[in-house]
Amino acid sequence: MLQLNCPHCQAILSVPPSQAGAISECSRCGGKFLVPVPMARSPEASAADASNHRAMDSEYRDFVDKKLAAGICGILLGGFGVHKFLLGLNNAGLIMLAVSLSGLVVGPCLILPLFGPAIMGVIGLIEGIIYLTKSQDGFYQTYSVEKKEWF
């Protein structure tokens, strides 16, 4: 039997496959509708799907594998944005690196810019801890799918 929804009342109907392509009548509301012909899945389409799925899978695994490394880099080297480069968040990584480096270069002459690397270091530390405490799924969703740049 084919399972389909009545287009009029949304009732779930079972229709014999012999009616595919023919007009049928809903047993609940009496509305008439065309029974869709089930699409035979071509072997090529199934193969493409399977390889898509594999690509998705290995992309997921590769990304999740970086969770620990990114967390540790964030905690130890946070101010240099290494953990962001690891996750492909290059813009945010560059910002952290630039703020930290400019602070290191200008810092010795002025007290204020020293706060730059310190603040970036704290941000990195917090982000590292967030990475480590996230679930693998949450980590993948947040930083690979949504590409969240900060925290």
The residue ranges that bind Zn ion (CB under 5 A) are: 6, 8-9, 11, 26, 28-29, 31
Residue 6 or 75: the one with the smaller Cβ distance to Zn ion is 6
How many other CB atoms are found less than 10 A from the CB of residue 96? 30
Task: Supply the minimum distance, in Å, between the C-beta of residue 22 and Zn ion.
Answer: 16
Residue 31 or 108: the one with the smaller Cβ distance to Zn ion is 31
Choose among 81, 90, 87: nearest CA to 121.
Answer: 81
C-alpha 116/C-alpha 50 separation (Å) is: 48
Residue 10 or 133: the one with the smaller Cβ distance to Zn ion is 10
Question: Residue 57: CB partners within 8 Å, gap ≥ 6?
Answer: none
Task: Supply the minimum distance, in Å, between the C-beta of residue 64 and Zn ion.
Answer: 45
